[in-house]
């Protein structure tokens, strides 16, 4: 009997949460946005989403196989990256372009830096930006959603760029009946998914609330209440605040750090939206803050209980 005994360091019991259950909850959190994308943009939306998930998982599998590393596709993080990337793409995106985005996300941004836990920037977000620069025409061709009579090709943010919310239907923005990428248009769907993740304790309130709150307050100062509401409902703010900026690996791990980081995201988003040449700034803002994360971690170290300064 003694030969079979196991000795290990305490603790001898562990919580049921694993990387896989966390990633599964993120995927579940994205389900409302996926449903809304199909409602407003048709079945091609689902095709793009499934295609991106498949390519990302395949890239991860292939790279790890080639590098003789342990296979991590079962932790579902590659699937999350694929779905997040799809959420950032317009419905008419050529699939070959989407595939390149997936390769950038998984191979360049994630695996070349050492795989899960080692990337310094959010893979899906960085891939979106790469695609935005590389395929600027297709990436900016927004299709008008179903059930909406407005055929204006201008996205809400392009309208807001003029400095007022005139001509925008806030209810449409809230529900997601607006031009934009697959997963970013419906505030209500993203909110539902975000609340689910908070309920499951996958994310805390610190980043989304601070991020959206900062954008709201700065917009309020700039253009008044309606403008501020339109600013937070438009573009990819909710997607970035709940799903992109909260990526564990690339955001600070103390709550104090998360507040600093999210405030930075909000500030940069507003600066780009108000004064930059691009209508949308959320992706760039989060990417820049990703890069600052190691520094924020240094600035936001916890104060040990009973610790005395040396």
Partner 1 sequence: MHAGITVRVHSVIWQKEETALSIKLLHGVRVPHRKNTAESVPVRIPTPKTVTIPMSMNIGAPAKPVVKPGDTVKVGQMIGEPGGFVSSPVYSGVSGTVKKIDDILLFHGAVSPAVVIESDGEQTPYEGLAAPEVTDLDSFVEAVRMSGVVGLGGAGFPTAVKLKADPAKVDFICINGAECEPYLTGDTRTMLDDTDLLVEGIAMLQKFYSPEKVIIGVEDNKPKAIAKLREATKEMDGVEVAALPALYPQGGEKVLIYHTTGRIVEEGKLPLDAGVIVLNTTTLATIVRYIRTGMPLTERRITVDGSAVRNPMNVFAPIGTPLRDVIDFTGGFKSDPRKIILGGPMMGIATTDLDQPVVKNTGAILCFDAKDAEPPAPTPCIKCGRCVNHCPMNLMPTDIERALDLGRPDLLKELKVNLCIECGCCAFVCPAKRPLVQVNKLAKIELNNYNKKLKAEAEARAAKEAAKNEGKEANAE
Binding site for partner 1 (CB under 8 A): 1-2, 4-15, 17-19, 21-22, 72, 75, 77, 115-118, 204, 248-249, 252-256, 297, 301-308, 310
Instruction: Name the minimum Å distance from CB 92 to partner 1.
Output: 34
Tell me how far, at minimum, the Cβ of 206 lies from partner 1, in Å.
Answer: 8
CA atoms 248, 250, 256, 260: torsion sign: negative
For partner 1, give the closer residue by CB, 75 or 231.
Answer: 75
Closest CB 121 distance from partner 1, rounded Å: 13
Q: Are 64 and 94 in contact (CB under 8 A)?
A: no
Sign of CA pseudo-dihedral 66, 68, 74, 78: negative
- How is residue 39 written in tokens? 């409602």
Q: Which is nearer to partner 1, 92 or 118 (CB)?
A: 118
Token couple for 123: 């893979």
Least separation in angstroms between residue 245's CB and partner 1 is: 14
The Cα–Cα gap between 35 and 298 comes to 40
The token pair that represents 44 in the structure block: 């091609």
Residue pair 181/236 in contact by the 8 Å Cβ criterion: yes
Closer of 151 and 308 to partner 1 (Cβ): 308
Neighbour tally for 221: CB within 10 Å? 10
Instruction: For the CB of residue 89, give the shortest distance to partner 1 in the complex, in Å.
Output: 25
> Do 198 and 188 contact (CB within 8 A), yes or no?
no
Instruction: Indicate the residue among 2 and 137 with the shorter CB distance to partner 1.
Output: 2
Structure tokens at 67: 């590098």
d(CA 160, CA 109): 32
Tokens at 152, concatenated: 């204006």
- CB 292 → partner 1: shortest distance, Å? 15
Quote the least distance from Cβ 218 to partner 1, whole Å: 25
How near is the Cβ of 115 to partner 1 at its closest, in Å? 7
Question: What is the rounded CA–CA span in Å between residue 295 and residue 25?
Answer: 29
Q: How far is the CB of 251 from partner 1 (least distance, A)?
A: 8
- Contact between 136 and 196 (Cβ < 8 Å): no
| Between 65 and 118, CB nearer to partner 1 | 118
Helix, strand, coil % in the chain, rounded to nearest 5? 65, 0, 35
Q: Which is nearer to partner 1, 55 or 203 (CB)?
A: 203
Two tokens at 260?
A: 């600093």
Closer of 65 and 201 to partner 1 (Cβ): 201
Run of H or E including 290 = helix 282-299
Residue whose CB is less far from partner 1, 117 or 163: 117
Q: Which residues, other chains included, contact 194 with Cβ-Cβ below 8 Å and sequence gap of 6+?
A: 29, 203, 208, 238, 241, 242, 243
| Total length of the chain | 310
Nearer residue to partner 1 within complex by CB, 20 or 146:
20
């Amino acid at each position: 009997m003694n030969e079979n005994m196991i000795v290990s360091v305490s603790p001898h019991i562990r919580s049921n949460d694993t990387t896989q259950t966390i990633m599964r909850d993120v995927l579940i959190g994205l389900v409302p946005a996926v449903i809304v994308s199909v409602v407003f943009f048709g079945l091609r939306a689902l095709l793009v989403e499934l295609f991106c998930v498949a390519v990302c998982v395949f890239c991860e599998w292939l790279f790890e196989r080639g590098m003789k590393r342990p296979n991590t596709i079962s932790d579902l993080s590659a699937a999350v990256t694929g779905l997040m990337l799809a959420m950032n793409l317009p419905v008419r995106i050529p699939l070959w372009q989407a595939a390149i985005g997936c390769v950038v996300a998984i191979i360049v941004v994630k695996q070349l830096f050492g795989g899960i836990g080692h990337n310094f920037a959010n893979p899906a977000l960085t891939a979106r930006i790469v695609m935005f620069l590389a395929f600027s025409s297709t990436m900016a061709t927004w299709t008008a959603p179903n059930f909406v009579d407005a055929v204006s090709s201008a996205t809400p943010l392009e309208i807001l760029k003029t400095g007022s919310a005139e001509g925008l239907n806030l209810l449409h923005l809230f529900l997601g009946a607006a031009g934009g990428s697959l997963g970013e248009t419906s505030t209500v769907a993203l909110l539902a998914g975000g609340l689910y993740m908070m309920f499951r304790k996958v994310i805390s309130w610190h980043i989304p609330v601070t991020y959206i709150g900062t954008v709201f307050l700065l917009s309020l100062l700039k253009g008044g209440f309606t403008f501020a509401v339109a600013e937070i409902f438009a573009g990819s703010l909710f997607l970035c605040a709940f799903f992109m900026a909260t990526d564990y690996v690339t955001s600070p791990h103390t709550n104090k750090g998360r507040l600093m980081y999210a405030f930075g995201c909000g500030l940069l988003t507003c600066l780009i939206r108000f004064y930059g040449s691009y209508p949308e700034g959320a992706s760039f803002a989060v990417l820049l803050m990703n890069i600052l994360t190691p520094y924020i971690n240094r600035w936001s170290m916890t104060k040990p209980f009973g610790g005395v300064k040396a």
